């Protein structure tokens, strides 16, 4: 299969796209939160660039199928339905004596015909301090009085909630702006944690269905295991494109509360040259609607490696490069006299040239 690059609209046409594409600006509340958090930065505080690492969650073991799970063949079907995708990235810009500085950026990519268009939102920097978490947590309270566990107030947890908040706003925007389209999310359609309230996702999916949209979510990795092996290994031996319906197996493993499976769960392998992915389809469109949406996606947007091109572009356009992180650091260095300080490399101090690169021995 020949992969042909499609047209991507540049920033010079953004003003025109605002009239045709998603209409969601960055919410005023999130903008004010960013500005207010940066105002709390004091002079002579160091900003240190390092990666943002969230703690790994333990895997979830599901029961092995009692009978072989048969793949469901999916035939590509060309259609005129627009394809739209959204992704949001968070990156740690540095550290201060009070906490950390992180930046968020979102991207919405949509395809009509043979052209891709996009909008980017951000970057939006936040200073998250140990003693100033209350304003952020207040903005991110779960709507609808959901009975959730007490949220953790660690810096990484607050960053995750900020990212999720921005992503949900953009997802709701495209679900309300597009009609009769296929909407692509990054991740799963599982919700019900303090970082990811089920009420917000349920409202987004209902709005999508009200506009005739079908929501599909792709996960590049999954914690789901059966017999100690990744559930993605079920996708072996058949000729792609196909999906494997593992929804019943997954439903048995999840508690009924507070976790909500708002999507029907599949293992998908949609091209010969690509790996398997977890694919969640909005449960509200039913199994037939899910397979129909996957067929339309195959005929319109899957380009290579079995992963939607729109979603791939959304990730690329939202992700931060090293040069962009340096640019944000330089911006902060001119903001209220903040100084950049390089963190000492303890391994290099102790072990010299045998200390490894980047702190790794």
Reduce the secondary structure of 28-43 to three states and give it as a string. HHHHHHHHHHHHCCCC
In a domain, 105, yes or no: yes
The CA angle 192-197-200, to the nearest 5 degrees, is: 125
- The pLDDT value recorded for residue 316 is 94
- Cα(191)–Cα(203) distance, rounded to whole angstroms? 12
Q: Are 38 and 127 in contact (CB under 8 A)?
A: yes
The pair of structure tokens assigned to 138 is: 């207040």
Q: What pLDDT, on a 0 to 100 scale, did the predictor assign at position 310?
A: 93
Tally of CB atoms within 10 A around 158: 24
Assess if residue 313 is contained within a domain.
yes
- Taking residue 348's Cβ as centre, other Cβ atoms within 10 Å add up to 15
Say how far apart CA 291 and CA 311 lie, in whole Å: 19
Write down the pLDDT at residue 297: 94
The boundaries of the domain holding residue 250 are: 7-53+72-140+152-342
For 226, the enclosing helix (H) or strand (E) is strand 224-226
Q: What is the pLDDT of residues 330-342, one digit of tens each?
A: 888 877 667 777 6
Torsion region of 321: left, alpha or beta (phi above 0 gives left; psi -120 to 50 gives alpha): beta
Is the residue at 62 inside a domain? no
For the chain, which residues score pLDDT lower than 50?
1-21, 44, 50, 133-134, 140-152, 358-361
In the chain, the largest separation of any two C-alpha atoms, in whole Å, equals 66
- How close are the terminal C-alpha atoms of the chain, in Å? 42
* Residue 353 within a domain: no
Q: What is the number of structural domains in the chain?
A: 1
Characterize the bridge pairing of strands 224-226 and 263-269: unpaired
pLDDT at 154: 77
Q: Which tens digit of pLDDT belongs to each residue from 317-329?
A: 999 988 898 888 8
Which pLDDT does position 313 carry in this prediction? Answer: 94
Domain-located, residue 357? no
Q: Note the pLDDT of residue 52.
A: 58
What is the distance, to the nearest Å, from the Cα of residue 311 to the centroid of all Cα atoms in its chain? 10
* Cβ-based neighbours of 265, under 8 Å, separated by 6 or more: 188, 245, 246, 247, 250, 278, 279, 280
> Is residue 35 included in any domain, yes or no?
yes
Q: What is the predicted pLDDT for the residue at 197? A: 83
* Domain contains 350: no
Q: Is residue 66 part of a domain?
A: no
């Amino acid at each position: 299969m020949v992969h042909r690059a499609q047209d991507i609209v540049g920033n010079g046409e953004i003003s025109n796209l605002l009239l045709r594409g998603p209409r969601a600006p960055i919410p005023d509340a999130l903008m004010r939160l960013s500005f207010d958090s940066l105002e709390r930065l004091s002079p002579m505080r160091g900003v240190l660039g390092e990666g943002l690492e969230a703690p790994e969650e333990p895997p979830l073991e599901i029961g092995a199928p009692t009978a072989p799970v048969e793949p469901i063949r999916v035939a590509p079907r060309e259609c005129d339905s627009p394809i739209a995708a959204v992704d949001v990235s968070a990156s740690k810009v540095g550290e201060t004596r009070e906490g950390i500085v992180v930046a968020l950026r979102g991207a919405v990519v949509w395809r009509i015909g043979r052209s891709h268009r996009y909008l980017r939102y951000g970057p939006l920097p936040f200073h998250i301090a140990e003693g100033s978490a209350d304003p952020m947590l207040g903005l991110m309270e779960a709507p609808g009085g959901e009975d959730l566990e007490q949220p953790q107030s660690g810096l990484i947890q607050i960053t995750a909630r900020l990212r999720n908040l921005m992503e949900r706003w953009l997802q709701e925007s495209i679900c309300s702006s597009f009609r009769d389209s296929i909407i692509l999310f990054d991740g799963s359609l599982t919700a019900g944690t303090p970082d990811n309230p089920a009420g917000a996702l349920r409202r987004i999916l209902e709005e999508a269905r009200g506009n005739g949209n079908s929501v599909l979510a792709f996960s590049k990795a999954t914690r789901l295991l059966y017999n100690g092996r990744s559930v993605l290994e079920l996708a072996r031996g058949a000729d792609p494109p196909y999906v494997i319906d593992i929804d019943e197996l997954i439903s048995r493993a999840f508690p009924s509360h507070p976790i909500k499976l708002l999507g029907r769960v599949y293992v998908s392998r949609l091209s010969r040259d690509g790996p398997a992915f977890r694919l969640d389809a909005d449960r509200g469109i039913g199994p037939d609607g899910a397979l129909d949406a996957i067929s339309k996606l195959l005929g319109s947007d899957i380009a290579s490696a079995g992963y939607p091109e729109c979603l791939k572009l959304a990730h690329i356009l939202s992700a931060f490069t090293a040069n962009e992180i340096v640019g944000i650091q330089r911006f902060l260095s001119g903001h209220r006299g903040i100084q950049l300080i390089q963190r000492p490399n303890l391994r290099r101090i102790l072990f010299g040239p045998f200390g490894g690169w980047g702190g790794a021995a």
